[in-house]
Amino acid sequence: MVRQLQHGQSGIAKCIYAMIEFKTPYTFDKVVRMFIGLTIIVLIFLLFKKLSPVLTPFFIGWLIAYLLNPIVNFFQFKLKFKSRILSIITTLILFFGSITGIILLLIPQIIRETNKFSVLIRDFTQNINYDTILPVSWQTALINYFEKIELIDLIKDPNIMSLVQKATPHLWSILNGSISFIVGLMIVIVVILYLIFILKDYEKMNASIPEIIPPKYRNLIMGIFDDIKSGMNSYFRGQSLIALIVAILFTIGFLIVGLPMAIVFGIFVGILNLVPYLQAVSIVPAAFLIIIKASEPGQTFVGVLIGVLIVYIAVQLIQDLILVPKIMGKVTGLKPAIILLSLSIWGALMGIIGLIIALPLTTLVISYYRRWVLEKHD
């Protein structure tokens, strides 16, 4: 993508060269306009951050629509479906049907793994020796703390919600879980509605974008949009394929070493690979699963740890030496420090969506900075 931006001879390149060629002095009026423009950009970012909980379902729906639109076009134009709605319905049936089919195929194995994992957890908690985990002073402090808690103190608590949480923790957990489930279900429904509506008017929305841009800046802005679209397309396709392959490799590796919840955990690590370096988050649950596995008769902590480390190292080598060079090539060309910085910045500004689109956007920003500010066009 960097090479395409730096060597391409598109309309945006001509606009940029023209802007560089006809520079104007920094007058007071120009500085004021630049300050106002910068202020507007900052306000837009702050507004976006404030509205991010509301906008996130829209962007998720738009992202899925962006990925599914080529399939919808295939049904509509190649297979000559009578209406776009029929093409959308067919695409969604295939999409959700494929996901459902994969889940149904995995459910029996996942159930077996879950049952086995429950037995391991039960045996682990029954045989655990707390004296080897918590110091005696900590145990004494905890016992003294719980002995001081009396029912009369709970009754005198003026905060009713706090009383409910303390007196009936299980009821509170059930209620909180039910509310979370309802909210999550509503978000899923909203995302699906956004997905359908965006797919229905996808071509019209793309065609109407140039009309809302002032003619003076139309070529420039549309050129930027084209570069973003090209960069996102290359990045998402490559990174999604890598995440899928990595999920399969981790699942196979965890099954070989006999790690509990191998399928679920392998898929989880693969999903984390949608964002570079995020699979480091899997270290904590991996350590927990290693401890549970080591509690089985005939297993040792060192042996299980070595097996899991071999899986991580082998998959990482395959990913870095084969998958990334072959699939991604030099799509971003960013240094690791810049990648972590871009993930932090875009993640803080846009949440999970920012983490997903951080690298292609950062690559574009750096490329345009080189061409606009540093005047490097080679």
Half-sphere exposure of 324 (CA within 13 A, CB side): 14
d(CA 183, CA 175): 12
Q: Buried b / exposed e across 298-327, counting CB within 10 Å, b at 16+? A: eeeeeebbebbeebbeebeeebeeebbeeb
DSSP states of 235-285? HHHHHHHHHHHHHHHHHHHHHHHT-TTHHHHHHHHHHHTTSTTGGGGGHHH
pLDDT (tens digit per residue) in 36-86: 878 887 787 777 777 777 777 888 888 788 878 888 889 888 888 888 889
What would the mean pLDDT of 220-243 be, rounded to a whole number? 76
3-state class of 342 per DSSP? Answer: helix
Predicted structure pTM score? 0.62
Phi/psi at 176 (5° precision) = -65, -40
Residue 6: CB atoms within 10 A of its CB come to: 14
Q: Of the ranges 34-43, 98-107, 141-150, 363-372, which one carries the lowest mean pLDDT score?
A: 141-150
Q: How far is CA 97 from CA 63, 70, 106, 131, 231, in A?
A: 19, 18, 14, 51, 29
Distance CA 59, CA 54 (A): 10
Residues 6+ apart with CB under 8 A from 2: 330, 331, 332, 333, 363, 366, 367
pLDDT at site 376: 58
DSSP 8-state secondary structure symbol assigned to residue 211: G
* The pair of three-digit structure tokens given for residue 130, joined into one six-digit string: 């707390």
131 or 250, which is more confident: 250
Q: How remote is the C-alpha of 367 from its chain's centroid? A: 24
Quote the pLDDT of residue 215.
Answer: 79
pLDDT value for 21: 46
User: Which is nearest to 119 in space by CA: 291, 239, 296, 271?
Assistant: 296
Please check whether residue 333 is in contact with residue 363, taking contact to mean a CB–CB distance below 8 angstroms.
yes
Distance CA(210)–CA(103), nearest Å, equals 42
CA–CA distance, 123 with 125 (Å, rounded to integer): 6
pLDDT band at 338 (very low <50, low <70, confident <90, very high): confident
Residue 163 has pLDDT above 70, yes or no: no
Domain segments of the chain: what residues? 1-21+216-378
